[in-house]
Amino acid sequence: MSETYEGDLIRPLGLVTLYAAYAEGEIDELLGALPSATPFDTQKRQWPVGQKLSCALKLVRLLKSGRLVGLTSSLKQAQAVFSERNNLVHSQIFAGRRVVSNRPDAAIHKVAPEDLVQLAEQIHACKEQLWMHRCKNLIPVLEGLKERDDV
């Protein structure tokens, strides 16, 4: 994989950023579909992705449906992947692939293009899992709730 990027960190970091944007779009779609006391409005769309994921987890748990266990799991996985992404993109990357966090207690580590491509692929997989669970599981659960309310 490093031959593909010839040691270049910029292109794979761009993939991380691009896929994270698509994943956050799916998180926004999920939050828009989940029932909530307050609508998912423009102000909430500006929340950091970690806050969006925490809110989505809370709303999914409130539905108390066994059909949403996979969605809950995918949201937790997304939290972990976005935490890794946040640590990376909010750090400084220096020559020699050294990653220096802005947090004073964090250790310096190295990153390779392969690591970034793998992270981008994980983010893409999270987006796909969230989309699949939203369409396949959440929507039928919500339709079932609506039918009960209409009776």
Residue 2 inside a domain? The answer is no
Task: Catalogue the long-range contacts made by 4-8 (C-beta closer than 8 Å, 24 or more residues apart).
Answer: 4/113, 5/113, 5/117, 7/113, 8/113
Residue 132 inside a domain? The answer is yes
Residue 3 inside a domain? The answer is no
Residue closest to 85 by CA, chosen among 49, 55, 58, 57: 49
Domain range for 87 is: 8-150
Domain count, the chain: 1
Predicted confidence (pLDDT) per residue in 108-147, tens digit: 888 889 999 999 999 999 999 999 999 999 999 999 887 7
pTM of the model: 0.87
Residue 140 inside a domain? The answer is yes
